[in-house]
Amino acid sequence: MAATGDAILEVRDLVKHFPLTQGVVVRKQIGAVRAVDGISFDLRRGETLGIVGESGCGKSTLAKLLMGLERPTRGSVRIKGREIAGAKGGELKRIRRNIQLVMQDPYTSLNPRMTVGDIVGEPYEIHPEAAPKGDRRRRVQALLELVGLDPDHVNRYPHQFSGGQRQRIGIARGLALQPEVIVCDEPVSALDVSIQAQVVNLLARLQRDLGLSYVFIAHDLSVVRHIADRVGVMYLGKMVELGRDAEVYGQPAHPYTQALLSAVPVPDPEGRERRERIVLRGDPPSPANPPSGCRFRTRCWKAQEVCAQQEPPLQLRPGTWHESACHFPQIHDVIRAF
């Protein structure tokens, strides 16, 4: 899955604040949840960018912003040079043809009263120019075959399929408009372990065959490592580390990445007594009231005065080969078996 250089998706200083209001008659804003707070990255053609982070870090809000489902407070999202962030109406519709979403829960993301054929073919109702009416059924059947489902099952309903098959239906729907970018928001985390590998393999095969670019959002670090070319680590609305998978996993520079990697249970009991584990104190702070300076400093064992005063930008730092947002970056080799 070699990425071929040019950026297909450009994200610059993306910010999304959800206002917190008080009062029923006279509503006044008393603050904001800073879900995504200044994120920039490029997605190259044919590349998979993994985004990892824990709940509340803003990764799902990021997915919605990329899709144009939420309006950003500030910043820009460009797909092949066209701005989706401020687009409206027909313009938004046209841009969206190029970016599609695969959702986490295959049980709630499919309408139970629609047949599989109608679900997968629904994008053609919204974008009639994508496929002539007479051709749609054939296309839907071809899509089902592409994702490994029986094309004769177009008239069945979602409840007649298992979780893994439903996720395949969701993927087929995502492919209907032949997009170049697919945003996968936790695409396998609702599935049983024995089914996850099937869906991961399917996504990898589709990428090879169709030349897709993925933004792959997940909390399962081993799945992301398997599929991603580059990885971004998010914490409280910020990207704290971004680099090639081998760099971020093999030589993490940010203390949060190090703690996150060391906390993942390794599926091998060999040597478990000697394994190094950084157990963080406490819970992540609220995104409505993030700490000053570096947002991770309240749980960081390296924090000093400067961390409370200055926010470390995401940049290349001495002694490292990829970007990190820490005043005291230090490559730390958390030995992993996954």
Task: List the one residue from 125, 283, 304, 333 that touches other proteins (CB under 8 A).
Answer: 283
The minimum distance between CB 94 and other proteins, in angstroms, equals 34
Considering the complex, what minimum distance in angstroms separates the CB of residue 78 from other proteins?
A: 29
* Residue 329: DSSP 8-state: -
Tell me, what DSSP letter sits at residue 117?
H
Site string for other proteins, 151-180 (x = CB under 8 A): -----------x-xx---------------
Closest C-alpha to 46, from 184, 210, 243: 210
**Cβ 234 to other proteins, closest distance in Å?**
12
Taking CB under 8 A as the criterion, the residue among 15, 177, 266, 331 binding other proteins is 266
Does residue 260 touch other proteins according to CB under 8 A? yes
Q: Does 263 interact with other proteins (rule: CB under 8 A)?
A: yes
Minimum distance of other proteins from residue 56's CB (angstroms) = 8
* Residue 183: alpha-carbon gap to chain centroid: 6
List, in sequence order, the alpha helices (H) in 240-326: 245-250, 255-263, 305-309
How far, rounded to the nearest angstrom, does the alpha carbon of residue 120 sit from its chain's CA centroid?
A: 22
Cα-to-chain-centroid distance, residue 60: 7
Q: Please name the residues in contact with 283: beta carbons below 8 A apart, sequence gap of 6 or more.
A: none
Site string for other proteins, 44-83 (x = CB under 8 A): ----------xx----------------------------
Q: What are phi and psi of 125, to 5 degrees?
A: -70, -35
- CB atoms < 10 A from the CB of 45, how many? 18
Give residues in contact with other proteins (CB under 8 A): 1, 54-55, 162, 164-165, 192-198, 200-201, 204, 219, 221-223, 225-226, 245, 259-260, 263-270, 272, 277, 279-280, 282-284, 336-338
